[in-house]
């Protein structure tokens, strides 16, 4: 049995927690996020014949006041950058976070998630702005539940490579 630690990061309010809520096992209250800055969920995926347990560290969103607690990133095998398609600033934040995490943990597999795909017509984030980074990108909708499973599978596949 393989186990991997995955961190979920992104700007405050991009929908990290609601994105995974329906797809993971959880025993902890979401209030943990606001009190100690992290909540841990579990996601089991099977890639090919290999099953992987992803321990998801949902880190409290970063904003002007709260900084990401970098000690929570230690030992992570990969991470998920979450962006709110309706907020261009959240992409900038994701880019900045990616740079900081790569600086701290070195090159690790990660995916970019553009959330709120159900509100595609109101998106501020331009496809070109996303494409210029060349990162593996998934469009998801926490509301409709689309794209989330695929995203986990893809990330798990990258971890096993």
Partner 1 sequence: MPTDGADKPLAELRAILLGPDRAAWEAMRQRLDNPTRRAEDVAGVLAEAVRLRSRGHSGSHPDIKLRRALQPLLEEALQLSVQSNPRMLADALFPIFGKAIRRAITSELDGMLQSLSQTLEQSFSWRSLQWRWESFRTGKPYAEIVVLRSLLYRVEQVFLIHRDSGLLLQHVAAPPAQATAGTPLEKDPEMVSGMLTAIQDFVRDSVSGAESENLETVRMGEIEVVLAYGPDAILAGFVRGVAPRKLSRVFQDTLDVIEQKKAEALHTFSGDTSRFDSCRPQLQACLLGQGRPEERTSGSWGARALLFGVPALLVLALIGWWIYANVIERRWTDFAHRLESEPGIVLTHAEKRGSNFYISGLRDPLAADPASLLPASLSSNQVEFHWEEYYSLVPRFAAQRQLAELKGQLQKRAFRFTTGSAEIPPEQRFLLEDVASQMISLIQAATALGKTVQIEVRGNHDPVGAEELNAALSRSRGENVRAALIALGVPAARLIAVPEDIEKETCSAVKEEERLFCRSASFRVTGVL
The candidate with the shortest Cα–Cα distance to 136, out of 123, 115, 155, 122, is 155
CA distances, 32 to each of 29, 60, 84 (Å): 6, 9, 22
User: Is residue 53 part of the contact set for partner 1 (CB under 8 A)?
Assistant: yes
Helix (H, G, I), strand (E, B) or coil at 27: coil
User: Is residue 23 part of the contact set for partner 1 (CB under 8 A)?
Assistant: no
4 touches 80 (CB < 8 A): no
Which is nearer to partner 1, 44 or 118 (by Cβ)? 44
Which is nearer to partner 1, 13 or 75 (by Cβ)? 75
User: Is residue 153 part of the contact set for partner 1 (CB under 8 A)?
Assistant: no
β-pairing, 38-47 vs 50-59, is: antiparallel
The neighbouring-strand residues paired with 55 are 5, 42
Angle 91-96-99 (CA atoms, 0-180°, nearest 5)?
125
User: Is residue 4 part of the contact set for partner 1 (CB under 8 A)?
Assistant: yes
Candidates 12, 21, 23, 55; binder of partner 1 (CB under 8 A) is: 55
User: Is residue 38 part of the contact set for partner 1 (CB under 8 A)?
Assistant: yes
Applying CB under 8 A, which part among 15-23, 65-73, 90-98, 127-135 lies near partner 1? 65-73
E-state strands within 48-156: 50-59, 78-84, 110-115, 137-139
Count of residues binding partner 1 (CB under 8 A)? 28
User: Is residue 32 part of the contact set for partner 1 (CB under 8 A)?
Assistant: yes
Q: Which residues bind partner 1 (CB under 8 A)?
A: 1-5, 25-28, 32, 36-38, 40-42, 52-53, 55, 57, 69, 71-72, 74-77, 159
């Amino acid at each position: 049995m393989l186990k991997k630690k995955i961190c979920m990061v992104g700007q405050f309010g991009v929908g990290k927690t609601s994105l995974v809520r329906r797809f993971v096992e959880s025993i902890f209250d979401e209030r943990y996020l606001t009190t100690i800055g992290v909540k841990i969920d579990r996601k089991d995926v099977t890639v090919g014949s290999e099953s992987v347990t992803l321990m998801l560290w949902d880190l409290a969103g970063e904003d002007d006041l709260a900084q990401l607690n970098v000690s929570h990133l230690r030992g992570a095998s990969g991470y998920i950058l979450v962006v709110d398609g309706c907020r261009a600033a959240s992409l900038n934040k994701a880019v900045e976070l990616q740079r900081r995490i790569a600086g701290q943990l070195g090159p690790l597999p990660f995916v970019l998630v553009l959330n709120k795909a159900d509100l595609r017509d109101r998106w501020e984030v331009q496809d070109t702005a996303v494409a210029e980074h060349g990162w593996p990108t998934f469009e998801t909708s926490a509301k409709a539940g689309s794209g989330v499973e695929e995203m986990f599978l893809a990330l798990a596949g990258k971890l096993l490579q």
